[in-house]
Amino acid sequence: MRREGAGMTAPDGPAGVREFPVLPMSDTTRRMTGRVVTEAAAAISALVADGTLKPGDRLLAQRLADLLGVSRFPIGQAMRILADRGLLTADPGRGFSVASDGPDHAASYRAERGHDDLTSAYFRIAEDRLAGALPDTISEQAMRDRYGLGRGQLSQLLNRMAGEGWAERRPGYGWRFSAVLTTPTALEQSYRLRLAIEPASLLEPGYCLARETLLRCRAVEERMLGGEIETASADALYDRGVRFHEAIVGASGNPFFLDTLKRVNRIRRLLVYRSLADRSRYRRQAAEHLELLRLIERGAQIEAAGLLRAHLQGVMEKLSTVRPLLEAKQHPSG
Amino acid sequence: MRREGAGMTAPDGPAGVREFPVLPMSDTTRRMTGRVVTEAAAAISALVADGTLKPGDRLLAQRLADLLGVSRFPIGQAMRILADRGLLTADPGRGFSVASDGPDHAASYRAERGHDDLTSAYFRIAEDRLAGALPDTISEQAMRDRYGLGRGQLSQLLNRMAGEGWAERRPGYGWRFSAVLTTPTALEQSYRLRLAIEPASLLEPGYCLARETLLRCRAVEERMLGGEIETASADALYDRGVRFHEAIVGASGNPFFLDTLKRVNRIRRLLVYRSLADRSRYRRQAAEHLELLRLIERGAQIEAAGLLRAHLQGVMEKLSTVRPLLEAKQHPSG
DNA sequence: GAATGCATTTAGCGGCCAAGAAATGCAATA
DNA sequence: TATTGCATTTCTTGGCCGCTAAATGCATTC
């Protein structure tokens, strides 16, 4: 899948003159690998980066495979790649272990990893759509030509978009994009759905936020208040917010609530785009998140629901100040 | 798609002896047609059945094509089929018009129409899953073999199920079915989601139930109270309920609310299956629906929201009496 | 002159095959 | 004995071809 001129044609310049003499291990590092291998490598490097695996620790293939829900094979591939990058050291016959300078390599490795082909195509389409660059109706053929996708890939994407509610099959053939994404009030409407379900989820019978989850959420928010608000990327900030709310709602044990929230969050990500990186507000949000955790910890569900409602309403009201940006289809300068 | 030995081979018996002298127009009527043609025929017959088109009315191909969002071609095919069935009469050179006994034929035509291939496969899979006949994890290959589906069809179905939250891609390959459908409390949980969003949708700013929609809903409920509760099929009763609630929520103008409801209703259809055809309760439900419409008509949104909440809660409480049936995976005897 | 009916064009889908990726089984080994 | 490393098997995906359905354009006809 997603091959892209890897080797095969013209590996060298004319007469064997290498155009890119640097990166001596590139043919191993750059080797096209499957999705699972890539993700396994990312997962392992994350474990090394956050200290779960310390220098000298031996990596057991089966253990990692079980952790990621895959077989041992792609784990082995991933370890080999990471060994080439210097994160791990290979002990022939006894597998791999974390190199002494593993964590440093892990940080740089993780920094340079980009999006999936499919994911990036998804965002390109969404951006084009938001920018009005895509017509309302279009054939699959035209989409494939435009974004250079295989049949299967495109079909996966379109089905996903259809599931998210902003694309649909036309009766004959071709697809139609609905107006959901381009209407200026969509973002506000998405918040009103959250306002309906998130506080309600707290009042579900049997609501129980696992202690471990609570502590993890609290640690994240405190790290943010401790300075990460200023340093983290806009994407990272958005992700943290999403994860917090999904953790809260997920603790209701009602999958319908959680699925609905996840779904609306995926669309919301397209709507907020990368625009509103107004960091000053994240501080207040983090404080409210922490207060919410305190209430939940005490079992004060009703108060928690009230606070969550106020929290969302507060965020929604701030929306009206950024909405003009969306309407004008411009990105803020600062 | 879905070809099946249609015509082409052996139109007649040997030496011109017709094997099936009855149904002289069968090779036209039975001809396999595409999805759009089939749906166009169904749509036109619906128009004839409900009196929108009366005997003698001429059918304009372009008008119908615009109505259904397709081209004239499948409309022509559909009209030809319907003419063969006696719903329409063909006036060569001037198209088709509704036959004098069109409405009668339309009723019988509509009665014998079955499910789409894809739709029926979807329900077969869901039923197998509910019955525990499908393993938790399975490869696409195995699914294709089991249900005789093409690659694209299966991918469409699986993506749809994934969107509905009861199937998901495994990291490597193959799919996993989640426990959502088989857990005994799922139905109740789905109602609690509805309880969170439906009353809230009534309080959306700009809520406006179109007069035409209101009248249509009222007429349906009154027809039900007038006797259809006893005569209609269980499927039809379910559909009416779904359509009513979706009309109410759709009038909020917030597509997120409507999408969420539609989604949960699709899963709910799988959960209720065909079990609870307890008709006595539909009478009370219809009365409450009518009262709800009255309140909305008066613009009493808050009272309407309260009634809707009570209505859903009432239905949900009745659930506990039928839940044992689901748990035992049995269908009621009466 | 507008709508029909037919011919042409285009789109999408299934089958087939080959390539690549992941899963699985097995022998070697620390 | 548990784990690695490799070989084999299974599965998915992409390309290509042909078929059928739907869209579109055009001549005909009332």
Contacts of B238 (CB under 8 A, 6+ apart): B269, B272
pLDDT in tens, B154-211: 998 999 899 888 999 999 999 999 988 778 889 999 999 999 999 999 999 999 999 9
CA distances from B50 to A174, A242, B107, B238 (A): 31, 48, 9, 20
Alpha helices in chain B (DSSP H): 26-29, 35-49, 61-68, 72-84, 102-111, 117-130, 140-147, 151-164, 186-202, 211-223, 229-231, 234-250, 255-272, 280-297, 301-327
- Partner-chain contact A156 B156, CB within 8 Å: no
Contacts of A162 in chain B (CB under 8 A): 163
Q: Which of residues 66-95 of A touch strand C (CB under 7 A)?
A: 70-74, 77, 93-94
A26 vs B51 pLDDT, higher one: B51
Edge-first strand order for the sheet with A167-169 is: A137-138, A175-177, A167-169
List own/partner pairs for B30-36 with CB under 8 A and 24 or more apart: B30/B6, B31/B6, B31/B7, B31/B81, B32/B2, B32/B3, B32/B4, B32/B6, B33/B77, B33/B81, B34/B1, B34/B74, B35/B1, B35/B116, B36/A171, B36/A172, B36/B70, B36/B74
Among the listed residues A151, A238, A68, the one whose alpha carbon sits nearest the alpha carbon of residue B171: A68
SS3 of B183-199: the string is: CCCHHHHHHHHHHHHHH
What pLDDT was estimated at residue A122? 92
Q: Which residues of A lie inside 8 Å of B (Cβ-Cβ)?
A: 36, 39, 68-71, 74, 152, 155-156, 159-160, 162-165, 170-172, 178, 180, 186, 189-190, 192-193, 195-197, 200-201, 204, 254-257, 259-260, 263-264, 267
- Partner-chain contact B256 A156, CB within 8 Å: no
CA distance B172 to B169: 8
Sign of the torsion formed by the C-alpha atoms of B131, B137, B140 and B145: negative
Whether the CB-CB separation of A40 and A75 falls below 8 Å is answered with: yes
CA distance A146 to A125: 10
Write down the pTM of the prediction. Answer: 0.84
Tell me the three state secondary structure of residue B5: coil
**A174 Cβ within 7 A of any nucleic strand C atom:** yes
What pLDDT was estimated at residue B276? 58
CA distance A282 to A215: 20
Q: With bands split at pLDDT 50, 70 and 90, how would you rate the model's confidence at B273?
A: low
CA distances from B137 to A41, A70, B170 (A): 25, 13, 8
Reading the block at residue A175, the tokens are: 């697809």
Write out chain A's pLDDT in tens, 334 residues: 333 333 333 333 333 333 333 333 333 344 567 889 999 999 999 999 888 888 888 999 999 999 999 999 999 999 999 998 889 999 888 889 998 887 888 888 887 777 777 888 999 999 899 888 999 999 999 999 999 898 889 998 999 899 888 999 999 899 999 988 788 889 999 999 999 999 999 999 999 999 999 999 999 999 999 988 888 888 888 899 999 999 999 999 999 999 999 999 999 988 886 555 567 788 899 999 999 999 999 999 999 999 999 999 998 888 766 554 444 443 333 2
CA distances from A7 to A13, A14, A149 (A): 12, 15, 20
CA distances from A131 to A17, A125, B253 (A): 43, 10, 23
**Closest residue in chain B to residue A265, using alpha carbons only:** B256
Angle of helix A301-327 versus helix A186-202 axis, rounded to 10: 170
CA distance B14 to A327: 71
- Residue B91 backbone zone (phi > 0: left; psi -120 to 50: alpha; other: beta): beta
Contacts of A189 in chain B (CB under 8 A): 254-256
Among the listed residues A69, A68, A190, the one whose alpha carbon sits nearest the alpha carbon of residue B260: A190
Sign of the torsion formed by the C-alpha atoms of B14, B16, B17 and B18: positive
Asked whether residue B334 carries a pLDDT value surpassing 60, the answer given is no
- Partner-chain contact B254 A172, CB within 8 Å: no
Find which of B38, B259, B264 to mutate to test the A interface (most A CBs within 10 Å of its CB). B259
pLDDT in tens, B65-76: 999 999 999 999
Whether the CB-CB separation of B87 and B79 falls below 8 Å is answered with: no
- Lowest mean pLDDT segment, chosen from A60-64, B236-240, B294-298: B236-240
SS3 of A217-286: the string is: HHHHHHHHHHHHHHHCCHHHHHHHHHHHHHHHHHCCCCHHHHHHHHHHHHHHHHHHCCCCCCCHHHHHHH
| Strand B175-177, strand A175-177: pairing | unpaired
Asked whether residue B19 carries a pLDDT value surpassing 80, the answer given is no
What backbone torsions phi and psi does residue A97 show, to the nearest 5 degrees? Answer: -145, 165
What pLDDT was estimated at residue B329? 43
What pLDDT was estimated at residue A332? 36
If you average pLDDT over residues B278-300, what whole number do you get? 91
If you average pLDDT over residues B88-112, what whole number do you get? 85
CA distance A34 to A2: 9
Alpha-carbon gap: A130 to the closest alpha carbon of chain B (Å): 17
In the DSSP assignment, the letter for residue B181 is G
| Strand A96-98, strand A58-59: pairing | antiparallel
Tell me the three state secondary structure of residue B180: helix
Compute the half-sphere exposure of residue A201: CA atoms within 13 Å on the CB side of its CA.
27
Reading the block at residue B268, the tokens are: 């709910």
CA distance A147 to A129: 13
What pLDDT was estimated at residue B31? 52
CA distance A29 to A23: 9
Edge-first strand order for the sheet with B96-98 is: B58-59, B96-98, B88-90
Tell me which residue in A36, A165, A260 faces B172 most closely, judged by beta carbons. Answer: A36
pLDDT in tens, A37-56: 999 999 999 999 888 888 88
B203: Cα separation from own chain's centroid: 28
Asked whether residue B261 carries a pLDDT value surpassing 50, the answer given is yes
Reading the block at residue A55, the tokens are: 């220098």
Contacts of A196 in chain B (CB under 8 A): 196-197, 200-201, 257
CA distance B167 to B179: 9
- Residue A305 backbone zone (phi > 0: left; psi -120 to 50: alpha; other: beta): alpha
Whether the CB-CB separation of B267 and B162 falls below 8 Å is answered with: no
Tell me which residue in A189, A204, A256 faces B254 most closely, judged by beta carbons. Answer: A189
Reading the block at residue B211, the tokens are: 């007069």
Protein residue closest to D12, using CA and C1': B173
What pLDDT was estimated at residue B107? 83
Q: What is the set of domains in chain B, with CATH numbers?
A: 18-111 (1.10.10.10), 117-179 (1.10.10.10), 186-327 (1.20.120.530)
In the DSSP assignment, the letter for residue B264 is H
Asked whether residue B77 carries a pLDDT value surpassing 60, the answer given is yes
- Partner-chain contact B171 A197, CB within 8 Å: no
What pLDDT was estimated at residue A116? 78
- Lowest mean pLDDT segment, chosen from B18-32, B165-179, B284-298: B18-32
Compute the half-sphere exposure of residue B105: CA atoms within 13 Å on the CB side of its CA.
21
**A36 Cβ within 7 A of any nucleic strand C atom:** yes
Burial A172-203 (b: 16+ CB within 10 A, else e): beebebbebbbeebbbbbbbbbbbbbbbbbbe
